[in-house]
Amino acid sequence: MAIIDTIKAKAKQRTMHIVLPEGEEKRTVHAASIIKNEGLAKVTLLGDPEKIKAEYADVCLCGIDIINPATSEKTAEYANILFELRKAKGMTEEKAAALAKDPMYYGVLMVKAGDADGLVSGAIHSTGDMLRPALQIIKTKPGMKAVSSSFLMETAKGVMIFADCAVIPCPTAEELAAIALGAADTARSLGGLDPKVAMLSFSTKGSAKHELVDKVVEATRMAKELAPDLALDGELQLDAALVPEVGQLKSPGSPVAGYANVLVFPDLQAANIGYKLVQRLGNAEAYGPILQGIAKPCNDLSRGCSIEDIVATVAITAVQAQEA
C-alpha cells in the first residue's frame, strides 16, 4: 500500500478537526468536499460563507463549517488570546483585534484555543507568511528547541524522511540536533519507520576538516545526548549513509551507516535541493513540508499544490493531531 493510503486509513480511524484558512480558494474548497466525503477529517473553511456558497455552488459543502473571521463571535476572544501572548513583544489590543480578523491568524488562534486540532494553509501564501503566525502563537513542543520540517519521501529504496527541507535556513548545531529528533518523531508517527538517522555532511568520520563539518559533529553529539536510545550517527556522507558496503568501509560498527532511513541535511539549501533532486530525477513521491517540533500540528502547502496535495496534507495533519 502506498504510504499516503496508509496515512489516510489512519486518519479515518479517529476524526480530527482541521481548519483551512484559505477557504475562499478554489482548490481548497474542492479539497474540503473530498475530505468530508472520504471521512478523513472534519474541516472548517475560513471565509465569507455567502461568497463561497455562491462561487462554488457546484461543490457539495454540506457538513462543512464555514466561518467568517471578520464577523465571527469568537474573533474578540481570539484577539484577546493574541494580545496576552504577544503584549511583551509590542502587540497592542488594536493590532490584535485587526490580526484576529485575518484568516491566517484566526486559524492559528483556533488551534491555539483548542477549537481545532490542526491547520493546513499555504496554497496562496508563501511558506514564510504561513509559518510566522504558527511560530509566534503555537510555538515549539515542550523540550524541543526549534520547529523544523520533514519531507516524507516514497523512494525506490522505500519510505524515507528528509529534513529540514523548508524551515531553518542555516541551522546552528543545537537546531540541527532538534531537526534530527523531530525527523525521528516524524519517521515513527507518519512513516511507520524504526528511525535510523544519518547526520549528513561532505565528510565521514573526520575524512575532511572544515568548520561546516565541525557543526555536524557537534549536532550529532548533542542529538545523542538528548536521545541516547535513538539509532543516530554522523557525520556521514550520503553514500556512507545509504550503501551498506560503503557504510561498513567508512564507518565500521555504525548502527546507521548503510541503512539510514532518516536523512538530516546540514542546511536548508542542501535539503531543499536534495529532496527535489530525488523527487524530479528519482521519481519519488514527496509529501511535505511536514512541520515537526511544533506544539500542535500546522502544515504548509506549496502554492503550486493540487487538490489531491491538499487532501493528503490534511490527512497527514489529522494523523499528527491524533498523536499530539
Binding residue for ligand ACO, selected from 166, 179, 200, 241, defined by CB under 6 A: 166
Q: How far apart are CA 162 and CA 170, in angstroms?
A: 16
∠ Cα 278 283 289 (to 5°): 55
DSSP codes joined into one string, 251-272: STT-SSTT---EEE-SSHHHHH
Q: Does 201 bind ligand ACO (CB under 6 A)?
A: no
Q: How far apart are CA 261 and CA 229, in angstroms?
A: 16
Q: How far apart are CA 301 and CA 286, in angstroms?
A: 12
Q: In the window 43-62, what residues touch ligand ACO (CB under 6 A)? A: none
Q: Which amino acid is at 97?
A: A
CB of 134 to ligand ACO, least distance (A): 9
Kindly write out the interface string for residues 257-286 of this chain, putting x where it contacts ligand ACO by CB under 6 A and - elsewhere.
---------------x--------------
Q: How far apart are CA 201 and CA 3, in angstroms?
A: 28
CB of 82 to ligand ACO, least distance (A): 12
For 266-279, b where at least 16 C-beta lie within 10 A, e where not — what string?
Answer: bebebbbebbeebb
Residue 140 DSSP label: B
CA-based nearest residue to 93, from 105, 78, 80, 77? 80
CA-based nearest residue to 157, from 282, 253, 248, 72? 282
Binding residue for ligand ACO, selected from 167, 197, 223, 318, defined by CB under 6 A: 167
Region from 20-28, 96-104, 165-173, 232-240 binding ligand ACO, contact rule CB under 6 A: 165-173
Q: Does 289 bind ligand ACO (CB under 6 A)?
A: yes
What residues contact 158, with CB distance under 8 A and at least 6 apart? 261
Kindly write out the interface string for residues 110-149 of this chain, putting x where it contacts ligand ACO by CB under 6 A and - elsewhere.
-----------------xx--xx--xx---x-----xx--
* Closer residue to ligand ACO (CB): 6 or 140: 140
* Closer residue to ligand ACO (CB): 166 or 190: 166
* Closer residue to ligand ACO (CB): 77 or 267: 267
* Closer residue to ligand ACO (CB): 66 or 165: 165
CB of 170 to ligand ACO, least distance (A): 9
Dihedral sign from CA coordinates of 9, 14, 15, 19: negative
Q: Does 306 bind ligand ACO (CB under 6 A)?
A: no
CB of 122 to ligand ACO, least distance (A): 9
Task: Say how many C-beta atoms besides its own lie within 10 A of residue 302's C-beta.
Answer: 15
Region from 159-167, 207-215, 232-240, 309-317 binding ligand ACO, contact rule CB under 6 A: 159-167
CB of 86 to ligand ACO, least distance (A): 7
# chain residues binding ligand ACO, by CB under 6 A: 17
* Closer residue to ligand ACO (CB): 106 or 275: 275
Q: Does 89 bind ligand ACO (CB under 6 A)?
A: yes
Maximum Cα interatomic distance, the chain, rounded to a whole number of Å? 65
List residues near ligand ACO by CB under 6 A.
Answer: 89, 127-128, 131-132, 135-136, 140, 146-147, 165-169, 272, 289
